[in-house]
Amino acid sequence: MRIGNNPHKDLEYKIKCYGHRVIIPVYIPNQEGYFKDSLSILKVCISSLSITIDKDSAITVVNNGCCKEVIDYLNYLFENNTIQDLIHTEKIGKLNSIIKAVKSSSEPLITITDADVKFLPGWLQKTIEIYQNFPKAGVVGIVPQFKQFENLGYNVIFDRLFDSTINFTKVKNPKALKMFYNSIGWSDDYNKDYLKYNLTISSKINRNVNAVIGSGHFVATYKRELFDNNIEFSNYLLGGNSETSILDFPCVKKDLWRLTTDDNYAYHMGNTLESWMEEKIDCESQNKIELPFLITNSIILKDKKNSFFLKTKVMRLFYKRFKKVFYKKWGLPSELHKTY
């Protein structure tokens, strides 16, 4: 039986709108073995994120079947408005956690990050700068990696094939590049020439703004238009083709570019806590960043099958066949042509 009227019935309420959202899927089922440091690392991630974003950003955390200690910590963050949305689920997998959050997000920019990332000051400002200076950017990473132009960066090369905006430039932060590959468990026997040069593209709007061609996906910012509202859930809890099909391919299939900042703006921490990770970040309070150039009418971009075939599949074969010609055109030192 209902007595009286709900006091909120017909009451207008203006929902707060943001220009940018950060989505973090979290899976820490216990605090033993592989996960013994994971909660401490998550705390570093959240702390570094909260002091480096602007006032127009919101944070969504998805609890993907975590243990009670982690759930208590996440609830505390939500109750104190450190994070603006908290989704509790049973164990559904990393990508399904991301999809669940994306479906309820309408911000024009969505950063998707692993829970073991330490953010550095200026990462969001630099990301916005890339979007402002490269209108075709669809994904912007903040951690340069080895030869990412060979990871779905061929449409960028195709679009700028006959101009001088693509060049090999010296890696700005070789130490950070080494730290990334150490964090994912690589041995030290990789090609050290990769620490010397990145393939970058300069903006035609401001030639002083450069971006590395290609992007990884452990932390990157996406245009909302890339994600179909009816996106299907993945059959994988982790790995498989889930991240590639859901996070990587949509951008190039819609003929947008995958780019990365030319300097390092975050660290991947892995699952083992080290002293440097807990060092405090000096970061002044961030002012609100206006995003009028990115506000859309929520139209989801359609795939461009012919463009994808020509600019990615055919261009990849063309590049592989004439790699050294491209190396010369882009200014890679001749002594590196055989080893790069």
Q: Which amino acid is at 311?
A: K
Amino acid at 44: V
Q: What are the φ/ψ torsions at residue 27 (nearest 5 degrees)?
A: -130, 100
Position 334 scores a pLDDT of 96
Q: Are 110 and 42 in contact (CB under 8 A)?
A: no
Distance (Å, whole) CA 100 – CA 63: 11
Give the 3-state secondary structure of residue 111. strand
Close Cβ partners of 140 (under 8 Å, ≥ 6 residues apart): 127, 130, 131, 211, 215, 220, 221, 259, 260, 261
pLDDT of residue 199: 98
Q: What is the pLDDT of residue 238?
A: 57
* Alpha-carbon span 148 to 257, nearest angstrom: 12
Along the chain (340 residues), what's the average pLDDT of each consecutive run of 10 residues?
66 73 98 97 97 94 97 98 96 92 92 98 96 96 97 97 96 96 92 96 96 96 88 62 82 97 98 94 63 57 94 97 96 96
pLDDT of residue 244: 82
pTM of the model: 0.92
DSSP 312-340: IIIHHHHHHHTHHHHHHHTT--GGGTTT-
pLDDT of residue 228: 77
Distance (Å, rounded) from C-alpha 59 to C-alpha 110?
10
φ/ψ (deg, to 5) at 219: -155, 125
What are the strands, taking DSSP E only, across 265-323?
266-268
Q: Could you give all domains of the chain from N- to C-terminal order, each with its CATH number? A: 20-336 (3.90.550.10)
Cβ-based neighbour number of residue 229 at 10 Å: 10
Which whole-number Å values give the CA distances from 61 to 12, 165, 235, 267, 326, in the listed order? Answer: 27, 38, 21, 19, 43
Distance CA 298, CA 107 (A): 9
